[in-house]
Amino acid sequence: MTPIRIAFLGLTDAAVLVAAREKGFAQAQGIALELMRDTSWATLRDRLVYGQVQAAHMLAPLAVAVTLGLSQQPCSLSAPYKLNVNGNLIVMAPEFAAALEPDTAARLNDPLATAHDFAAAVGLHHRKPIIGVVHRFSSHALILRYWLASAGLDPDRDVVLRVLPPSLMVEAMHAREIDGFTAGEPWGSAAIEAGLAEAVAASERLWQRGVEKVLTFRTDWMEANPETVDALIRALAQAASWCDDPANHAELAQLLSRGAYVGQTSELIERALSGEIVARQGEAAVSLPDFLLFAREATPFPWQSQALWIYSQLVRWHMVEPADDSQRRAATVFRPDVYRRALASSDTPMPGASMKVEGAVETQLSIGAPKGAITLRPDRFFDGRSFDPDRIEDYLAGFET
């Protein structure tokens, strides 16, 4: 057995790692998987960069940022496998949500209208709304900025973005230190269940196939240990299929509810797994079937166009100076070549291309793949724009801010 330690944060989207350990998928591949829970992204990053763990459940933008030297010690990181897409909520305190469409299903289904309603009401509050984000280099923060800007708000001027770890969001809402937040589940649902917040937007409606957590290695370690990396990816692919199967959601929610993992009730955790989101305390659930994906539609495949979308957003918000070298390094944080190598002997169909135009699939698209076709379901951004990785400058010029 090869021991591997992976650092993670207590979130529902750590599911694939938990299932790989608890359901024996890792063991079957000869891997003794040890999961190490952290409570901040900074500590998870440090454990990976300084070699206390071999891999991490990392925010995709953080993997790009560390590689580009934007987050403490620069270190080349590689993400050959996406652990999920989607899975986040934006929630706000009832007094802020009061300015929005009261029908929560309609609200969640039309993020652009919701952004405009929110923007129109910002001036009516006595002070700037304070919105909690988990990290500046998180998909949550990048998509929140995009959403706010779509209604003409400047996220650096018109609101205050406050960085807090996911597990402290509910407490901060309770203490009225923040007016709303965006975080991975189950923390949005936990705030809703406590009556402290309402769902305002769901990530699956902001970018229907949004990049989220990625399995991240230090590049040097990954290159030096190809067999172990491949075995781990094979185990995770099997675990992901298990996690996607609705028949396993109740058991998965039970596993995740343990104190060593998420430490919240399985009922709360299952909402994200089944896509049955209670948007306001006591209401019937709104059905969002793509709320959190692990395996279907080749979810784990690390499209380099998605790493470049992250890069485009870092440029957009002036977190990095645009440069060809940075762009190239950002793209190659995602490693489809390693994914293909690891799963070559399995029957997983995989895309032949490594990039695609993001946000261009309106109904569905069948793409050719070496082992049978893959059907990609709609991946639209909420404002209808698409991202062509070959035309990043044009894409950015299309935004007013």
Our CB check for other proteins shows the closer of 104 and 167 to be 167
Our CB check for other proteins shows the closer of 120 and 224 to be 224
Closest distance between other proteins and the C-beta of residue 41, in Å? 5
Tokens of 72: 């403490």
**Residues found near other proteins in the complex (CB under 8 A):** 38-43, 46-47, 50-52, 71-73, 134-136, 162-165, 167-168, 175, 177
Closest distance between other proteins and the C-beta of residue 261, in Å? 16
- Three-state helix/strand/coil letters over the chain: CEEEEEEEECCHHHHHHHHHHHCCHHHHCCEEEEEEEECCHHHHHHHHHCCCCCEEEEEHHHHHHHHCCCCCCCCCEEEEEECCEECEEEEECHHHHCCCCCCHHHHHHCHHHHHHHHHHHHCCCCCCCEEEECCCCCHHHHHHHHHHHHCCCCCCCCCEEEECCHHHHHHHHHCCCCCEEEEECCHHHHHHHCCCCEEEEEHHHHECCCECEEEEEEHHHHHHCHHHHHHHHHHHHHHHHHHHCHHHHHHHHHHHHCCCCCCCCHHHHHHHHHCEECCCCCCCCEECCCCEECCHHHCCCCCHHHHHHHHHHHHHCCCCCCCHHHHHHHHCCECHHHHHHHCCCCCCCCCCCCCCCECCCCCCEEECCCCCCEEECCCCECCCCCECCCCHHHHHHCCCC
Helices and strands in the chain: count of H runs, count of E runs:
19, 16
Closest distance between other proteins and the C-beta of residue 273, in Å? 24
Closest distance between other proteins and the C-beta of residue 270, in Å? 25
- In which region does residue 258 sit, left (phi positive, over 0), alpha (psi from -120 to 50) or beta (all else)? beta
Our CB check for other proteins shows the closer of 139 and 167 to be 167
Our CB check for other proteins shows the closer of 59 and 295 to be 59
Closest distance between other proteins and the C-beta of residue 35, in Å? 16
Closest distance between other proteins and the C-beta of residue 71, in Å? 8
Closest distance between other proteins and the C-beta of residue 366, in Å? 41
Our CB check for other proteins shows the closer of 128 and 391 to be 128
Our CB check for other proteins shows the closer of 167 and 348 to be 167
Instruction: Report how far residue 297's alpha carbon sits from residue 271's, in angstroms, rounded to the nearest whole number.
Output: 21
Closest distance between other proteins and the C-beta of residue 32, in Å? 21
Closest distance between other proteins and the C-beta of residue 47, in Å? 7
Q: DSSP for 327-378?
A: HHHHHTTB-HHHHHHHTTTS-----S-S---BT--SS-EEE--TTS-EEEPP
Our CB check for other proteins shows the closer of 62 and 279 to be 62
Our CB check for other proteins shows the closer of 4 and 59 to be 59
Radius of gyration of the chain measured on its C-alpha atoms: 20
Our CB check for other proteins shows the closer of 41 and 339 to be 41
Closest distance between other proteins and the C-beta of residue 281, in Å? 25
Our CB check for other proteins shows the closer of 3 and 352 to be 3
